[in-house]
Structure 1
Amino acid sequence: MAEHTLNAPVPGVRAQRDDRARAAREAAGHETVTPGDIAVGVIIGRTSEFFDFFTYGIASVIVFPQVFFPFVDAFTGTMYSFAIFALAFIFRPLGTTLFMHIQKLWGRGVKLTAALFLLGTATAGIAFLPSYETSGAHAILLLAIFRCIQGIAYGGSWDGLPSLLALNAPAKKRGWYSMMGQLAAPLGFLVAGALFLYLHTRLEPQDFLTWAWRFPFYVAFAINVVGLFARLRLVLANEYTQMLEDRELKPIGTVQMARTQGYNLFIGAFASLSSYALFHLVTIFPLSWIAIHHSQAIPDVLIIELIGAVIGLAFMFLSGMIADRIGRRSTLGLGAVLTAAFALVSPWLLGGGTMSQDAFILIGFALLGFSYGQSSGTATANFLPSCRYTGAALTTDLAWLIGAAFAPLVALGVSTRFGLAGISLYLLSGAACTLLALRINRRVRHSGRAAA
């Protein structure tokens, strides 16, 4: 499959083409757009998505088992909740396919507006759901439907700006600018976690479970509106449109992608699998494990996780600096090795006392920041230029589906039945897949250069 890389421009030719395109825009009177401008838009836009993401994730642990599954014990209720949590990732590729078609028919502005409106409506709709005590199984069915709609909207919200950011970054700063778009994950967690922490500590448990938990879902709609306008300002501007066209960042059919670039899709997905496997095992799973075993109070865990999110931010910046020194793929490989080492001590940390559990969370967030910071588009350079827009979206969808969708469900189920060693196996498998995919990717790229 090395032939898929042969038509990709080599770095020197690509740089010359970029300079000519930039000069042409300036000669035509178009404003020159800097990577910093794109980075700001990416961070604001994606933070709104991750706020929705973590609002649902945190509620899956501290709210939904009691509100929608009160007829079973805490462990079983959380397992049911995590099963519904996974639905969004299953439906995400469908959303990408559907909204790519919408963009081809009506343009990226219509696509982005429809996707974020759908996401905000589904998230806010969860706030209006009745409890199981009120509506029985219908409440669970509605929760599952809204979660599926969220997944479709997540897939449809791809705007190509992260790819545009990476492609327009200075040659020696690509690791740094690629990291910028990933900052939205810890920022979204900080806002969502802080809001739940405030509500959980300020209100009586009965009030929290009756009505207060719904408030973050209301807020999500307002944040989505802000994120929508921030992104529309970019994707509809003439200079951005020209840059997207210069880079051939346009949608193509999913069937065509799978037929012509399927090999590269899976390389890209598995290359970042280590960070995606780690994602929910340090954000959502520890909260569920500690809540079920009552080893710490929920507010105490949320506080540690908020501190962890700040540490994750710091390590994302570190990953950008290191990637510009040793390369993005080497940095991602280093993150996989460190994750494997963390996997070996995870059972003792999470199974220990308060300090050990806190160490698991804080170290996990540091590793997540380091590895996730370089997980975006590390292997998408293999795609033909005309396939990169859709390829980046589908690669991300597959990485979420394979690495993260079932992580809380599998980790909680396996750990409860067989012990916390199950976490080690899950993380080790993710690290192994990343290292193997990076090695295969290296051979593919070298074959392409040699043939060229």
Structure 2
Amino acid sequence: MTSTTKSDIDNGSTAIEMQTPAGHSPVAPGEIAIGVVIGRASEHFDFFVFGIACVLVFPSVFFPFVSTLEGMLYGFAIFSMAFIARPFGTALFMTIQRRWGRSVKLTTSLFLLGTATAGIAFLPGYNTLGGASIFFLAMFRALQGFALGGSWDGLPSLLVLNAPKAKRSWYAMIGQLGAPIGFLIANLLFFYLINSVSAEDFQAWAWRYPFFVAFAINVVALFARLRLVMTEEYTLALEESELEPISTREMLDKQGPTIFLGAFAALASYALFHIVTIFPLSWILLGESQLIGNVLIVQCIGACIGIAATIASGVIADRIGKRTTISYMAVLIGVFALFAPMLMSGTPLMQDAFILIGFALLGISYGQSSGIVTANLERRFRYSGAALTSDLAWLFGAAFAPLIALGLSMHFGLIAVTFYLLSGAVCTLLALRISKHLAASE
């Protein structure tokens, strides 16, 4: 095992991220960054299109037999199915990679993701298919998550691998830019449709267009990523760094505690993720406190703030360390949680402030949330370990956030949002403390 210094641990870095493996030419960081951003943005666009549709479309199209609130909750329950399926997809596609290679794995997973998304676009509503429409909606949603589990290409690790030593956190945040970019595009598309067609036409057919666009974006992303992952430099970088597609069973047997610790270390930002992006839209629509078009515009502004904050996270973390950055942001998210009920129950201006401030906190926290504990993984487990850790962080922190936040807030008030965010912040601080203690004792 290669030794790891205390400063490396504090920044969430590892020996394999400290230098390009000897014996081959490094891949240009700028070229990798393009592939990383395109790939992550396409994945998040798919998920945000579904999340926004759970609020604006699905209650009337697939759940017209219940109230709007219940329709949203049913939609959010189906929304969570992708995150439940994702770890299983990772397990299967790691097996595919071991047998047939990365290109087969990536092509198959992204084709499945695009097909499931397009399938939703063609899916008739409840008034045509009855309960079968809900079944197929749930099936396509689960397939989305299952496919996303196979989309891990290791490009973020390769990006950091080829980055200048003094800017490791800066390059680490580039992969995280895909989330606010994907959200921005999804919101702009829905805003355009809502303002371009009548409400009747939007509910009848126009809502399907974002799902068609998602399929097209996936095709572009597939070729952009294949162009990189099939290069000789990329292959050598993985092989010489001993990064292997380990089976999930072996991962959990030998590195299980570290995997779960890594997932909980990022919980504050993942808990905030859908509380800022999806929940406000549902709460405001039900309360009829603002026009939906205005909310979508505010969320677009919030996404831009999130992009800027994610970029800023790279500068901040390079100066004070990744672990310190995540710790401070967990505290700030906890403070923000205390004001959530006041802001979301207040005037439209206060609700907008909740969204914008939330995006600023999310950008800095989420921008450095990847790989915070993976330095404790053995070298050969880091490729698969990073994928599985991310899957579990999404599952524990973000999968049920809209469902829990909206359901509990309607019954017990917005204090439920406070407790949800606080629980994420506490988990992050405890996980970071434990991982630091374990790293120091090794």
* TM-score over 0.5 (shorter chain): yes
The yes-or-no answer on 1:142 pairing with 2:136 is yes
Residue pair 1:8, 1:384 contacting (<8 A) in 2 also? no
In structure 2, the residue corresponding to 1:72 is in which secondary structure? coil
1:25 partner amino acid: H
Deviation at 1:9, TM superposition (A): 3.7
Identify which of 51, 58, 77 aligns with 1:64.
58
User: What is residue 172 of structure 1 aligned with on the other side?
Assistant: 166
In structure 2, C-alpha distance between the alignment counterparts of 1:248 and 1:54, rounded to whole Å:
35
Aligned to 1:190: 184
| CA positional deviation for 1:15 | 7.3
Partner of 2:245: 251
**In the TM superposition, what is the alpha-carbon distance from 1:248 to its structure 2 partner?**
1.9
State the Cα distance separating 1:25 from its structure 2 match: 1.4
Q: Residue 8 of structure 1 contacts residue 382 of structure 1 at CA under 8 Å; is this kept in 2?
A: no
Q: How high is the TM-score relative to the length of structure 2? A: 0.96
CA distance in 2, matches of 1:178, 1:361: 25
Contact 2:45/2:183 (8 A) holds in 1: yes
State the one-letter code of the partner of 1:207. D
2:435 corresponding residue in structure 1: 441
Q: Distance in 2 between matches of 1:426 and 1:254?
A: 29
**Aligned residue identity for 1:375:** S
1:3 alignment counterpart: none
CA distance in structure 1 between the partners assigned to 2:115 and 2:71 by the alignment: 26
* Deviations 1:263-299 (CA, angstroms, capped at 9, x unpaired): 1001100000000000000000000000111111111
Structure 1 residues 222, 16: closer, same or farther in 2, change over 3 A?
Answer: closer
1:153-164 correspondence to structure 2 within 5 Å: 153-164=147-158
Partner of residue 215, structure 2: 221
Partner of 1:396: 390
Amino acid aligned to 1:206: E
Equivalent pair of 2:18/2:161 in contact (CA under 8 Å) = no
**Alpha-carbon deviation of 1:8?**
4.7
**1:37-436 mapped onto 2 (5 Å cutoff):** 37-436=31-430
Structure 1 counterpart of 2:137, which letter?
L
Cα distance in 2 for partners of 1:145, 1:273 equals 27
Aligned partner of 2:24 in structure 1 is 25
The amino acid of 1:202's aligned partner reads S
1:244 Cα deviation (Å)? Answer: 1.4
Give 1:138's aligned amino acid. A
1:376-411: CA deviation from partner (whole Å, max 9, x where unpaired): 111111111100011000000000000000000000
- 2:367 corresponds to which letter in structure 1? G
Deviation at 1:84, TM superposition (A): 0.3
Kept in 2: contact 1:160–1:249 (CA 8 A): no
User: Are the aligned partners of 1:8 and 1:383 in contact in 2 as well (CA < 8 Å)?
Assistant: no
AA matched with 2:314: G
Change over 3 Å in CA distance of 1:15–1:282 after alignment to 2: closer
TM-score when normalising by structure 1: 0.94
Measure the CA separation in 2 of the matches of 1:17 and 1:446.
19
- Counterpart Cα distance in 2 of 1:329 and 1:227: 31
Cα offset, 1:35, TM superposition:
2.3
Given that 1:33 and 1:239 are in contact with CA atoms closer than 8 Å, whether structure 2 keeps it comes out as: yes
* Structure 1 moving runs of 4+ over 4 Å: none
Structure 1 residue runs of 5 or longer lacking an equivalent are 1-6, 27-31
Taking the aligned partners of 1:16 and 1:237, their CA distance within structure 2 comes to 19
State the distance in 2 between where 1:15 and 1:428 align: 34
SS in 2 for 1:156: coil
CA distance in 1, matches of 2:101, 2:429: 38
Residue-pair matches, total: 435
Local SS of the residue matching 2:173: helix
Alpha-carbon contact 1:289-1:412 (below 8 Å) kept: yes
